[in-house]
Structure 1
Amino acid sequence: MTALTAPHQRHRVGRAVTGTGYHLFSGTLALAFLVPIVWVTLNSFKTTREANQSPPTWIPQEWSLENYSKLADYGSGIGVYVWNSLVLSLLVVAGTVVVTVLAGYGFARYKFRGKSLLFGATLLILMVPYATILIPLFMVMSWLGLTNTIIGLALVQIMFHLPFGVFLMRNSFESIPKELEEAALVDGCGTLQAFWHISLPLVTPGIVTVALFGFIASWNEFLAPLIFLSGENSYTLPIMLVNLSSGQYGEVDYGALQAGVVIAIVPVLLLYLFLQRYYVSGLVNGALRG
């Protein structure tokens, strides 16, 4: 018995050490990401004088909403910039999900001439730095009369999200056995009904992943809005934060800036926490098949 239990005990000890090391590393990494968020949040509730003082303080000596009230009066008002970012993100999510779901289903279920070539050409877009084609896109959008509009900017953002989304959705649909749809067709469903009632619910994690990627990327995007938007009332939240950080005569109001950062963080953080279980499984399912 002793000879049999000794290797088993060593195995258990090894697993315990490995697990402890893993959790320590994960906890340290999580703390490294969490500390700046806590720091910014605390600073946003300081008075202007305390937020700009050196050396800085960790806990506000006087809790204040002064910085948030400043944002309400800055430029067109923080509400306008948040609304523009929200509308842009929702348009990008809606357009990206519709196109990538249909394209991914087509690549996964149908055979047609040039299928592999078309799919490869779609993925090649990922290799093109999007900043290099923003100026030609601006000229096209100007010709179409879509510059300085949220819709025009959303179309540009959707185009850049398509390659990854199509790749992920194709793999998600390919992970579903075709026999499920064939059984639905035998039972009297049409092709569209089988797609809607059978395949689509099973790729929900992939859809959520594409939507989450689109929302976060468009919410945080700075370069494209900087080029395509020129009116104060059409600016998004990242543009407002950069203008706020530059300040008048180079002076930076760190309290107001960090209050704006908190406002920018909250929607993305809540969305990720709410959808993270779909997000993780969607990435796994989309990466298993190539």
Structure 2
Amino acid sequence: MNRSRVGYSVTGAALAILFLFPLLWSGWASVRTGSGFGLENYDRLFTSDNGVRPQHVFNSLVVSVLTVGGTLFVATLGGYAFGRFKFPGRDVLFLVTLAILMVPYATILIALYVLLGWIGLEDSLIGLSLVLVMFQLPFSIFMMRNSFEAVPRELEESAQMDGCATLGTLLRIMLPAVKPGLITVGLFAFLTSWSEFFAPLILLNSTDKFTTTLAVVNMRTASHGSIDYAALEAGVVFMAVPCLILFAFMQRSYVRGFTSGAIKG
């Protein structure tokens, strides 16, 4: 093994430890009790008066599923249009879409809250999901456009010669070819929506509609105003587990999707 590969390995290991340390610390703190180690912190997380309830977990799942589904639907159609069709103003519209990334979303949440009130979706999981989809679209459309552009045009032309219409070509030929990009977009949308805190804090008012993140933060105060850090760490680990499982199963396609985007972008 040459020195350059040793350097890369050492640097990669150091970065892995750096990024894993907070999660490992949370896992250790979540099972540490005054008398040793156990699951008392998790029991307190789910059984305390203001702790996490099954309804909160269900709300998070609903928001995540709606966000992933909406993001994939719009980003697929948008990415296909930007990547395969030429129309007036295409490049300008694409740049405007990407420019949304430069706007801190926290600055427009109040305006979005008012807008949701106008259309009757205030304090609703559907309204929250629509907002999260909007935040995901610039990155997602960028990824899907690059994924579609990486597919050889001969595949599309062959399908059209065989009589496939545009929609049929998209469903039968193009979508299987851009599967890594779809997984990347879907996984990124899930990770973001599952762990999002600020948007639910602003857009949700009813406690029965709180997501898991809000429920975890809501139970941070124990008796006499002290902070129950151990229960909070248990909440952090509980929320991280689904993300880790999904990433472990989909990491290969996730990395391939990003690699394709980097090459074409």
TM-score normalized by the length of structure 1: 0.86
Describe the superposition over 1:121-166 as per-residue Cα deviations: whole angstroms up to 9, x where unpaired.
1111111111111111110111222111111000001011111111
1:35 aligns with 2:21: yes
Structure 2: gaps spanning 5 or more residues: none
- Which of 256, 271, 289 is equivalent to 2:246? 271
Query: How far did 1:285 drift?
Result: 0.8
Structure 1: gaps spanning 5 or more residues: 1-14, 51-60
Aligned AA (1:164)? F
Query: Aligned partners of 1:202 and 1:123: how far apart in 2?
Result: 24
Query: How far did 1:239 drift?
Result: 1.3
Query: Aligned partners of 1:161 and 1:180: how far apart in 2?
Result: 29
Q: State the partner residue of 2:168.
A: 193
Query: Aligned partners of 1:86 and 1:266: how far apart in 2?
Result: 14
Q: State the partner residue of 1:152.
A: 127
Q: Taking every aligned residue pair, what percent have the same amino acid on both sides?
A: 48
The more displaced of 200-209 and 66-75 is: 66-75
Query: How far did 1:79 drift?
Result: 2.0
Q: State the partner residue of 2:43.
A: 69
Query: Aligned partners of 1:191 and 1:268: how far apart in 2?
Result: 35
8 Å contact 1:76–1:232 — kept in the other structure? Answer: no
Query: Aligned partners of 1:165 and 1:281: how far apart in 2?
Result: 15
Query: Aligned partners of 1:24 and 1:128: how far apart in 2?
Result: 37
Larger relative contact order (CA 8 Å, sep ≥ 6): 2
Query: Aligned partners of 2:114 and 2:6: how far apart in 1?
Result: 56
Instruction: Count matched residues.
Output: 264
- Which of 27, 30, 39 is equivalent to 1:44? 30
Aligned AA (1:93)? V
Query: Aligned partners of 1:21 and 1:78: how far apart in 2?
Result: 47
Query: Aligned partners of 1:247 and 1:132: how far apart in 2?
Result: 32
8 Å contact 2:109–2:199 — kept in the other structure? Answer: yes
- Shift of the 188–26 alpha-carbon distance from structure 1 to 2, 3 Å rule, reads same
8 Å contact 2:143–2:261 — kept in the other structure? Answer: yes
Aligned AA (2:44)? K
Write out aligned runs for 1:1-290 (5 A): 16-47=2-33, 50=34, 62-74=36-48, 75=50, 77-290=52-265
Query: How far did 1:234 drift?
Result: 0.9
Query: Aligned partners of 1:110 and 1:29: how far apart in 2?
Result: 41
Which segments of structure 1 move beyond 3 Å, counting only runs of 4 or more?
246-249
Q: State the partner residue of 1:55.
A: none
Query: How far did 1:35 drift?
Result: 2.9
The more displaced of 71-80 and 260-269 is: 71-80
Aligned AA (2:15)? L
Query: How far did 1:20 drift?
Result: 1.3
Query: How far did 1:76 drift?
Result: 6.2
Query: Aligned partners of 1:208 and 1:224: how far apart in 2?
Result: 24
8 Å contact 1:208–1:279 — kept in the other structure? Answer: yes
SS at match of 2:37: coil
Aligned AA (2:4)? T
Aligned AA (2:115)? V
Indicate the RMSD between aligned Cα atoms, in angstroms.
Answer: 1.6
Describe the superposition over 1:35-59 as per-residue Cα deviations: whole angstroms up to 9, x where unpaired.
3322221222233xx2xxxxxxxxx
Aligned AA (1:30)? A
Query: How far did 1:23 drift?
Result: 1.0
Aligned AA (1:190)? A
Query: How far did 1:191 drift?
Result: 2.4
